[in-house]
């Protein structure tokens, strides 16, 4: 048909028509597909197609094999979309009147139902009302339940074709009758069609007709008709939101409780007999219950809308917890797929589900993990920037749990045989710089990526790790860490012993050229890349040659003129010294490509404007990172200075308060000791004055160095308030002793120290008293000698 359609229609098609009468199943199926392909590719005009192929399709619709009949039916339904109305009416609709009669075979009537559903959108309302609706009513009341069920499922398409008014008057009564049918498959079809047509019914129809039917289905689903349970659980979210406006508070609560009951269906099994038949029934029932819980997980976002996201924690969190911890993988898998929708609906309250996110990240099944990481960047972004109402404290709580969960998930994917899941996970982990801090990425993820590049055996996984590593490097906020990573890349990959590592170094450089500015690449990686022109392995040199045009595109003249000379020198060496034929061929091809390339200038040029603008933006961001790092360092230094100053002020105040207490106790002890040494007031004053002068003269030269230290480490009022004690008594009281002791212990220390100081003052006072007594005796002797001389 593609090469010679005219001759094919004239000579080949008649032979096919003859053979199909006696052809087997395989040839029939192949012919049905071929006829459909001819129509889809528009190998002939639609007029020619309907004239040549339509009759053959209609003849084989009622084939005795159900698979063949369905294949020809699919071809016919696809062809009806493009056929003219007149052709459809004469060739398909008119014969359909007789084909839909009870006298025809079951297969013929089933085919008629599906064709009627397709024709409803092809004609005007009055033609549908006059010619199609009578056939529809007749088939809805067919004696065979298969025909009634099939026609019931087509009522949705017919309703869309005839409009709201006819749907209310014709389709809805038929659905109500079919919903009470004796056949369970017919009731199921009626229920699903009702749910799909909810939008076409007004509030009165919903409250008076649809809602009683739905309540009846829900009540019978557990006790009488469990066959509808799976379908009911699948459509429950759509049903609840479709009827939301007509629910009373009591009905709203009843449907919510019904949903919660379905979510835990089968998790609490009753004790029963161990007969084989009962075990078989239990297995079938268990599969059904798993399907119900899976459907509940699918409908969970719709139920959040039903209860309002503000009421999630109160109404649905316990159900959410149960579904995320369900013992069956399909249920948890469905929850993992829908978690992003749940997070979007919760908005500012998304932090509530962070524990379940961690649980699913640590799930035993890799299928669950694979489903979760599809939208992991979006979920994590919502977790950290959930909205204005989500406080920073709740956000910070997610990080300690989140980081171990992410590392565990990666390790589990790495040890499994499902490398595609591992690759996908590493690609999604590139979002982490927007989620957690640069230091956390550096210590927990960045070095892991480097390890994967060097040790993993799967190339797509290595490339994914290399790109994610470059993203981490791009957003790292410490220059020292960046330099360390760059050094490792050059030494362990670019200069690695394994040629495989050197190949991965070139892949990494390609990602760096994509993510970083041209100046960054030229500064750190340009020369290490050129060194690989001397690599002993031909594959490395070959890959480098493919990369050289991109390498040259990073240069800017005249700033990088010396690098351009190095590049040209390396290419000359390759041309002169390369011995491998394949590499030499690629080198020559690369040289021609490099010659055609134009190097961008430092100044903006029109032909490179967009690229230069993008590169300038990257360079500005890199410079901004350096400036931010410098600002953070200065801020930390200022904070350190202010902290040390505040600490000193605090210690000074504390010591002043303790010193004032101490000075009072010491002055009391000194006065007590001096009063015991003498009884007269003049003697007390003279002794205190002498004691002060003595202690000052004796201690000052000895503790001259301590005065300098005390100005820095102690309160100045300490020695001034304790005359005669001197600064040496401060030595036992260090900062550490005050910080490490409790209040009681420090009180005891002050007491004992006070006592020791008081004792020393007593000793000093006694020695002064002895000297005073000695002076008095010598004075009295002098006076007696003078009296004797005068008498003589």
* Ramachandran category for residue 347: left, alpha or beta (phi over 0 → left; psi -120 to 50 → alpha): left
Give the C-alpha separation, 441 to 454, whole Å. Answer: 19
Whether 712 has a pLDDT exceeding 60, the answer reads no
Across the chain, mean pLDDT equals 80
DSSP secondary structure code for residue 494 in this structure: I
Percent of the chain past pLDDT 90, that is, above it, reads 51
What is the per-residue pLDDT for 619?
Answer: 81
Q: What is the mean pLDDT of residues 475-481?
A: 91
3-state secondary structure of 682: helix
Q: What is the mean pLDDT of residues 483-491?
A: 96
Distances (CA, A) of 310 to 307, 317, 353, 611: 8, 11, 14, 47
User: H helices then E strands: how many in the chain?
Assistant: 45, 2
For helices 276-298 and 229-242, angle between their N-to-C axes, nearest 10 degrees: 20
Q: CA geometry: angle at 116 spanning 73 and 52, to 5°?
A: 45
| Backbone φ and ψ of 423, nearest 5° | -60, -45
Q: What is the mean pLDDT of residues 5-17?
A: 92
In tens, the pLDDT along 130-145 reads: 889 999 999 999 999 9
Distances (CA, A) of 650 to 76, 646, 657, 707, 714: 91, 6, 11, 21, 12
What is the per-residue pLDDT for 675?
Answer: 43
Residue 277's pLDDT band (boundaries 50, 70, 90)? low
Closest listed residue to residue 425, CA positions, set 395, 380, 387: 380
3-state secondary structure of 439: helix
Q: CA geometry: angle at 48 spanning 42 and 54, to 5°?
A: 90
Q: Which residue has the tokens 């010619």?
A: 131
User: From the CB of residue 753, how many other CB atoms can be counted at a distance below 10 Å?
Assistant: 17
In tens, the pLDDT along 114-123 reads: 999 998 888 8
DSSP per residue, 513-553? HHHS-HHHHHHHTHHHHHGGGG-SSHHHHHHHHHHHHHHHT
- The residues, any chain, with a CB within 8 Å of residue 547's CB and separated by 6 or more, are 506, 509, 510, 529
- Give the residue extent of every domain in the chain: 606-640
What is the per-residue pLDDT for 695?
Answer: 38
Closest listed residue to residue 70, CA positions, set 96, 104, 45, 33: 33
User: From the CB of residue 492, how many other CB atoms can be counted at a distance below 10 Å?
Assistant: 16
Residue 387 or residue 652, greater confidence: 652
3-state secondary structure of 21: coil
In tens, the pLDDT along 637-686 reads: 787 766 666 666 656 655 565 444 434 443 434 344 444 444 444 444 44
Residue 535's pLDDT band (boundaries 50, 70, 90)? very high
What is the per-residue pLDDT for 699?
Answer: 35
Q: Are strands 556-557 and 600-601 parallel, antiparallel or unpaired?
A: parallel
Give the C-alpha separation, 383 to 208, whole Å. Answer: 43
Q: What is the mean pLDDT of residues 448-475?
A: 96
In tens, the pLDDT along 771-783 reads: 444 444 444 444 5
In tens, the pLDDT along 49-88 reads: 999 999 999 988 888 888 999 999 999 999 999 999 899 9
Statement: the pTM of the whole predicted model exceeds 0.95: no
What is the per-residue pLDDT for 99?
Answer: 85
Cis ω for the linkage preceding 309 (within 30 of 0): no
Q: Are 453 and 508 in contact, with CB atoms under 8 Å apart?
A: yes
Distances (CA, A) of 671 to 270, 320, 575: 91, 79, 103
Helix or strand run (H / E) with residue 601: strand 600-601
In tens, the pLDDT along 90-100 reads: 999 888 888 88
| Backbone φ and ψ of 557, nearest 5° | -100, 140
Give the chain's largest Cα–Cα span: 180
Percent of the chain past pLDDT 70, that is, above it, reads 75
Q: What is the mean pLDDT of residues 716-727?
A: 38
Whether 463 has a pLDDT exceeding 70, the answer reads yes
Q: Are 107 and 62 in contact, with CB atoms under 8 Å apart?
A: yes
């Amino acid at each position: 048909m593609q090469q010679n359609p005219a001759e094919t229609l004239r000579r080949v098609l008649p032979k096919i028509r003859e053979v199909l009468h006696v052809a087997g199943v395989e040839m029939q199926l192949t012919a049905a597909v071929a006829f459909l392909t001819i129509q889809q590719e528009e190998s002939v005009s639609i007029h020619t197609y309907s004239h040549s192929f339509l009759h053959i399709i209609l003849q084989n619709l009622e084939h005795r094999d159900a698979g063949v009949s369905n294949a020809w039916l699919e071809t016919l339904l696809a062809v009806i979309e493009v056929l003219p109305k007149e052709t459809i009416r004469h060739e398909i609709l008119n014969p359909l009147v007789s084909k839909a009669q009870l006298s025809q075979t079951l297969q013929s009537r089933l085919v008629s139902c599906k064709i009627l559903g397709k024709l409803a959108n092809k004609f005007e309302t009055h033609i549908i009302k006059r010619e199609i609706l009578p056939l529809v009513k007749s088939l809805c009341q067919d004696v065979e339940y298969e025909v009634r069920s099939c026609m019931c499922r087509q009522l949705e398409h017919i309703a869309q074709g005839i409009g709201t008014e006819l749907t209310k008057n014709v389709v809805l009564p038929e659905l109500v009758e079919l919903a009470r049918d004796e056949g369970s498959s017919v009731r199921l079809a009626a229920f699903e069609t009702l749910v799909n047509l909810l939008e076409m019914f007004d509030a009165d129809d919903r409250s008076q007709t649809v809602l009683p039917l739905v309540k009846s289905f829900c009540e019978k689903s557990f006790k009488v008709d469990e066959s509808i349970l799976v379908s009911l659980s699948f459509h429950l979210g759509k049903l609840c939101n479709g009827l939301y406006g007509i629910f009373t508070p009591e009905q709203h609560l009843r449907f919510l409780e019904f949903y919660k009951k379905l979510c835990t269906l089968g998790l609490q099994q009753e004790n029963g007999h161990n007969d084989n038949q009962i075990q078989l029934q239990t297995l079938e029932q268990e599969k059904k219950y798993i399907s119900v819980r899976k459907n509940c997980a699918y409908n969970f976002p719709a139920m959040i809308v039903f209860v309002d996201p503000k009421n999630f924690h109160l109404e649905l969190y316990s159900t959410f917890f149960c579904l995320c911890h369900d013992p069956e993988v399909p249920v948890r898998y469905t929850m993992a797929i829908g978690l992003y929708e749940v997070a979007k609906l919760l908005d500012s309250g998304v932090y509530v589900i962070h524990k379940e996110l961690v649980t699913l990240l640590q799930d035993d099944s890799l299928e669950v993990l694979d489903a979760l990481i599809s939208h992991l960047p979006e979920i994590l972004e919502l977790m950290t920037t959930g909205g204005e109402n989500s406080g920073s404290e709740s956000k910070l709580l997610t990080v300690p749990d989140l980081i171990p969960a992410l590392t565990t998930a990666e390790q589990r994917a790495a040890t499994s045989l499902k490398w595609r899941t591992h690759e996908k996970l590493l690609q999604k982990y590139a979002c982490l710089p927007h989620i957690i801090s640069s230091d956390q990425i550096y210590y927990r993820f960045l070095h892991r990526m480097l390890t994967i590049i060097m040790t993993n055996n799967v190339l797509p996984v290595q490339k994914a790790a290399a790109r994610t590593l470059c993203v981490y490097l791009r957003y790292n906020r410490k220059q020292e860490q960046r330099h360390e990573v760059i050094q490792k890349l050059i030494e362990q990959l670019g200069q690695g012993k394994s040629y495989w590592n050197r190949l991965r170094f070139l892949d990494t450089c390609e990602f760096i050229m994509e993510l970083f500015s041209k100046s960054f690449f030229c500064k750190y990686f340009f020369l290490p890349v050129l060194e690989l022109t001397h690599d002993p392995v031909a594959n490395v040199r070959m890959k480098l040659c493919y990369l050289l045009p991109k390498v040259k595109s990073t240069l800017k003249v005249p700033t990088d003129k010396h690098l351009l000379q190095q590049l040209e020198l390396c290419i000359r060496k390759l041309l002169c010294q390369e011995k491998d034929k394949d590499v030499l061929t690629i080198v020559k091809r690369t040289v021609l490509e490099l010659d055609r390339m134009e190097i961008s200038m430092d100044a903006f040029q029109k032909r490179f404007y967009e690229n230069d603008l993008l590169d300038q933006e990257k360079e500005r961001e890199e410079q901004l990172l350096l400036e931010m790092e410098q600002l953070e360092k200065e801020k930390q230094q200022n904070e350190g200075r202010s902290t040390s100053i505040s600490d000193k002020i605090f210690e000074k105040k504390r010591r002043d308060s303790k010193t004032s207490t101490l000075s009072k106790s010491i002055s009391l002890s000194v006065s007590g000791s001096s009063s015991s040494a003498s009884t007269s007031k003049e003697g007390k004053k003279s002794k205190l004055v002498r004691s002060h002068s003595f202690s000052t003269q004796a201690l000052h030269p000895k503790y001259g160095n301590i005065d300098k230290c005390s100005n820095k480490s102690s309160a100045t009022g300490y020695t001034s308030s304790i005359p005669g004690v001197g600064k040496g008594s401060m030595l036992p009281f260090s900062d550490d002793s005050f910080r490490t002791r409790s209040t009681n212990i420090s009180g005891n220390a002050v007491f004992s120290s006070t006592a020791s100081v008081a004792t020393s003052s007593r000793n000093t006072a006694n020695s002064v008293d002895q000297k005073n007594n000695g002076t008095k005796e010598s004075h009295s002797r002098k006076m007696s000698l003078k009296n004797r001389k005068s008498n003589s």
